[in-house]
Amino acid sequence: MGAVTREGYYKIALGLVACPVVGCIVWLSLNVRNLGWRFEYLQPALELDYVMGIFMWAVFAVGILIVGGNWRRMLLLGWIGKLFVLLVAMLFYEEHYEADAIAYFSFRLTGEHYNYDASGLSSFDLIADLISGIMVPFEMDVYNDGGMPNFRNKPMENFLALFALVTSVMPPYFHALKVGVAFIGFMGSWCFYRAVVVALGREYPAAFYLLAFFPSIIFWSSVLGKDPLIFLFLGLYAYGGALWLVQGRLTALGIVGVGLLGATLIRPWMGIVGAVSLVVANMLGRCRPRQVAAIVLASALVLPFYWEEASSRFRDLVIMEVIQQRVEGVAGDTAKSSGSGAQLPDLQGEEPSTLLPLIVFSGLFRPLPFDITNPFTALAAVENSVVLLLAVAAIHRFRLAYLRDPLVLWPILFSLMWAALYGLVVMANFGSGVRYKLQTMPFLLLVVMLLTHREGRALLASRISGKKKER
């Protein structure tokens, strides 16, 4: 007998992965009525709904085989992983937890949501609403509605308009919509991987598998909701940012702009975090003078539109009364939802500088094993423990000279700024916090791996020596 070729090993591995997944799906298709009871009132034909989800997954799989080119193997393996999460693991999550996905599915069927009414609106109307949202992404206020106070949440309106636009081309079945939106999140992982390729100057499949199969990324980028859309926009931002820092292409700023604009429409803070971290990395890192000049000019053109609202919100970050209100607010939400959170500190009389390290650490690395309260926080604690250990190893290998490299400074700034803004949310509600961390986890993972992996350190050393030769 001849030796098994590499292609043969690949087929064996694919079979070992696919067989149990298919077996689980067959079993679940027979039990889907028990697992899908939460949305049965919206979709009585649960078996048909589940089959439509499988069909939708197969459509995207065929698309990958047709247009995937040299990357079809990586993409197909990643998409099979999504299949297990979407049509196996997530069913048990949806059975036990009342997810926002049910409300979004209802919105897709009826066009009605307490934040936004899309019934009767055409695609052009939805696009017009999104364009109006670009100008006022921070608008969140209370207004009078027939004698009753109502709360306007413009970021939610923007998301719902975008959600209605995107899902209008998808079949009106819960699992089919979930698969379609999850593919958007899957493309987010691919965009982050392309950013890695730009930075390395070559393909590195291990980075894609890390991004595609990292537990919190593969799960939360698959939910029917905001997270996959934000993840795609941040992936575009990361890809454009890498192109800009490495190659200095002006077209890269266009990709950055699209990514930041999309993320800002849904999560306004993401636009601030993304823009500030990239601009500062350009100005403090070793970038060409024309790159610094171009990005400063681009910032000067955009900043006037958002300066007043953004600056007032930044001021709130250092006012202890406002921070205390945020703590009490998220803690109250946790209590109402029976969520799990850390013991929040009493902030009265505290200075922001003393509180910030705890907030940032919690935003990046909690929950940890001592925070475990349920199976989901247990899984998150294992994941965060691994990331924390890698971060400690990265700090041990860190050199101050690395901070002059914008490819290092940029993701570090992004992760720290995100943690400063969302650390309290993580502390108050670990469930929501783990989901929100999808926004920064790729940046944190990639910079940690860059500093701990020998190929990453070799890349940094070559970039530092190359810059010295240029000077």
Percent of the chain with pLDDT over 90: 30
Structure confidence at residue 292 (pLDDT): 81
DSSP state of 348: T
Token pair recorded at residue 443 = 């940046």
Of residues 133 and 415, more confidently modeled: 415
Residues 6+ apart with CB under 8 A from 39: 94, 102, 105, 174
- Res 320 pLDDT > 80: no
pLDDT tens digit string along 431-446? 778 888 999 999 999 8
Going by pLDDT thresholds of 50, 70 and 90, the confidence category of residue 371 is: confident
pLDDT tens digit string along 163-207? 999 999 999 999 999 999 999 999 999 999 999 999 888 888 999
- Residue 229: CA count within 13 A, CB half-sphere: 23
Mean pLDDT of the chain: 80
> How many C-beta atoms lie closer than 10 Å to residue 173's C-beta?
24
- Stretch 395-419: mean pLDDT, rounded? 89
- Res 141 pLDDT > 60: no
**In angstroms, rounded to a whole number, what is the distance separating the alpha carbons of residues 382 and 312?**
38
Q: How far is CA 373 from CA 91, 97, 227, 424, 432, in A?
A: 21, 15, 24, 18, 14
- Res 137 pLDDT > 60: no
> How many C-beta atoms lie closer than 10 Å to residue 202's C-beta?
8
**In angstroms, rounded to a whole number, what is the distance separating the alpha carbons of residues 82 and 219?**
8
pLDDT tens digit string along 63-95? 999 998 889 999 999 999 999 898 888 888 877
- Stretch 401-424: mean pLDDT, rounded? 89
- Res 469 pLDDT > 50: no
Q: Looking at the DSSP assignment, which residues form a beta bridge with residue 152?
A: 141
Give the lowest-confidence range in 95-104, 110-119, 336-345.
Answer: 336-345
Structure confidence at residue 322 (pLDDT): 52
> How many C-beta atoms lie closer than 10 Å to residue 334's C-beta?
21
